[in-house]
Amino acid sequence: MLPYLEERGVTHTRQIDLNTFEDYPTWRKAAKSTRKLELTYIGNFLNEFCKRRGLLDIEVSPREALPSIAIKDTEVDANPPLIEQGNWQKVAVALSRNRDSAAKLRNHRGSYFAQLFYRWCIVGRNSGLRPDIELNKLRWCDVRRKNVGRWSKYEEKKKDKWIAVLHVRDSKTGKQRIVPTNDVDNQLTQWKEEQQQYIQRYCPGIEVTDETLIFGNPHNEMRQYAYNNFNRTWRKIIDGINTSLKPYVFSNKNYTPYSLRSTYICNLIMDNKDIYTVAKLAGHTIAVCEKYYARIDMGKKAKEITDFDYGSTRSRNIETESY
């Protein structure tokens, strides 16, 4: 925002008018989704900080001062989900191989990050957290273990089932949310043990507390890794198996770390979770969930729509393939 205002000759908030930001969408060289998000942040700054303190002209409305950026349906699939049959299994195997290969090298830092990345991807896929601004900021105190096991009449005892409940405090929308998860408790339990063993051996001066980042860098006082590290590792792994991955039917874009999040959301829809629940868990509005993901449900309903009562009443195996 500051470089843009400098080019426009704006040095004081009182100079901002309804036309100040009209050229921002074309001036800013970035993805459309990035520009849209930045304008949201600028709007929050103008409204929550400047307007409340009387730093804007009384006639300037932050809502009217900022241009809107429309995102087409064809653009919402920049991060296609890994829901085509067999895709996630192939990615999981590749993640495991990358971890095992790194462990054989003498570079313990690289081995640590490969192990971290393995856990990070699985937790991301099973929680739907935004990789850079939610998952990377998750602290140990943001996770609660909960036993949702039930009484077994057959065994006459309670069968434990531990789940991880994530408390997302710093989100893209600014709204906090609670996300109960499957298959995350085991990942975090194992990761905490692996992390502590590594720190004791290579970084004995580091203390892991409740406030410590779960996926922090022990060689940098447990601060966040640069997000480029995750992107680069992801690209390396995906490029290695790209020819065996099936393309997402609605997009020809490459799979990205954000595909872990879209995979989580699409899986919720295909598991017949109602759109309100999906929106709450994902931190989206209902409208966004419908626009981005609801069409996935139609593929699942294809059998119901095209089914006819003929032949045997036994269930049939339905196969799907490209023409």
pLDDT (tens digit per residue) in 30-87: 877 788 888 988 998 998 899 989 999 988 888 888 988 766 655 556 789 999 999 9
**In this prediction, what percent of the chain has a pLDDT beyond 90?**
61
Candidate CATH numbers 1.10.300.10, 1.10.443.10, 1.10.10.10, 3.40.50.2300; the one for domain 87-299: 1.10.443.10
User: At residue 321, does pLDDT exceed 50?
Assistant: no
Predicted structure pTM score:
0.73
Bigger pLDDT: 305 or 70? 70
Mean pLDDT, residues 107-131 taken together: 97
Q: d(Cα 288, Cα 293) in Å, to the nearest integer?
A: 8
Per-residue pLDDT of 240-273, as tens digits, reads 999 999 998 877 889 999 999 999 998 998 888 8
CA distance 54 to 172: 26
Please tell me the least confidently modeled range out of 29-33, 89-93, 227-231.
Answer: 29-33
CA dist 165 → 168, 178, 213 (Å): 10, 7, 16
* Distance in angstroms (rounded) separating the CA atoms of residues 164 and 15: 49
Between CA 1 and CA 166 the distance in angstroms is 33
Are 179 and 277 in contact, with CB atoms under 8 Å apart?
no
Where residue 294 falls among pLDDT bands split at 50, 70, 90? Answer: low
Mean pLDDT score of the chain, rounded to an integer? 87
Alpha helices in the chain (DSSP H): 2-7, 24-27, 32-44, 62-65, 87-103, 108-127, 185-202, 227-241, 259-270, 275-282, 286-293, 295-300, 302-306
Residue 203, token pair as written in the block: 């970084």
